Amino acid sequence: MPDEPVAALSEVTRTYGGVPVLDSVTLAVEPGVTAVIGPNGSGKSTLLRALVGATEPTAGEVRHPGATGPKPIGYLPQRVPFREGFTARETLAFYARLVGDDPDAALERVGLGDAGDRRVEALSGGMRRLLGIAQAVLGDPSLVALDEPASGLDPGMRERAFRAAAERADADTAVAITSHALDLVDEHADRVVVLDRGSVSAAGPLDDLLDQRGVADVSELYRVAAGETGARAGDEGEGPDDEDESDGEGERDGGDAEPDVHVTGVSDR
C-alpha cells in the first residue's frame, strides 16, 4: 500500500449563499472501496465533486498524491444524460479515444458486452448506470468517484451496478461511492464515511467502526453516527440523493452547477 493516500481533503469547507454544505472535512481516500453515507442533503454529492475537482472548496485543500496516469480521476455524477441516437459502443468510443482505451473491453468490464449495438435511449435505467460506470473507469484511473451508482434500480440491477463499481478497486485504485444502499455498503465497502449536516461524524475501516460503535452492520452504524433524523431520511428508499436541489448549488453559487457529462481529466473543469 502506498505511503500517501490516493486523495486527501484537508479542512475542506464549501458554502452556498453563506450556508456551509461541507464544514471543515478532513479525509484520506485510500485504495479499496470507500462508501460515503448520510441523510439527503448531508453533503455527499458535494464531497465527491470537491474530491474530483468538479467543485472548488470555499476553504481548505484537496490533493491527489496517489492519482496518476493519463486519466488519474474518473467521475460518475448522479445524472448522466448520454446523447440519444448513439449506441452504447459509439458513446464509449468517443470517450475511449481521448484516453486510449478500448470501448468493447470497457463494455465487457461492466457486463454490457452484448448491448454494445443498442442505442442509449433503448437501454434500461440500470444499463445506463452501468454505461456511466464504464465511462468513469475508462483509462484505468487511480481514483474513481461514483455518485449513487445503484440509485433507482431494482434489487438485481443495483447489486450488479455496485459490484461492477467495487470490482475496480485494488491495491492501487481507490473507489469512492455515495449510496443509500446500506446492505451493499455492508457487502462491498472497505471503509465508510458517515456525513451528517456537512461534517464527518464517523470515518474509518468498516470493521473498526462497527467494533468501536458496538453495532452489527452498516444500518446500525448509520443510526448511531447520523442520528435518528438521519436514519429516517436514509431509510426512505433508493432514490437519488437530490443534493443538487437541497444544496441549491446551481442557483445560489452563480453557475457552479454540475455539467451534463463530466469526464475528469478530459473536461475543462
Residue 160, domain CATH? 3.40.50.300
| 268: in domain | no
Those residues with Cβ within 8 angstroms of residue 167's Cβ, 6 or more apart along the chain or in another chain? none
Q: Kindly give the parts of the chain with pLDDT less than 70.
A: 1-2, 228-269
Which pLDDT score, from 0 to 100, does residue 259 have? 37
Question: How many domains in the chain?
Answer: 1
Say how many Å lie between the first and final Cα of the chain, rounded. Answer: 30
Containing domain of residue 229, as a range?
Answer: 7-252
Burial class (CB in 10 A: 0-12, 13-18, 19+), 259: exposed
Question: What DSSP character marks residue 261?
Answer: S
Whole-angstrom distance, CA of residue 107 vs CA of residue 128: 11
| 266: in domain | no
Q: Which residues pair with 74 in a beta bridge?
A: 144
Which pLDDT score, from 0 to 100, does residue 234 have? 41
* Whether the Cβ atoms of residue 225 and residue 202 lie closer than 8 Å to each other: yes
- Specify the amino acid at residue 256: D
| 190: in domain | yes
Q: Which residues in the chain belong to E strands, given as ranges?
A: 7-16, 19-29, 32-37, 59-63, 73-76, 143-147, 174-178, 191-196, 199-205
| 35: in domain | yes
Radius of gyration of the chain (CA): 17
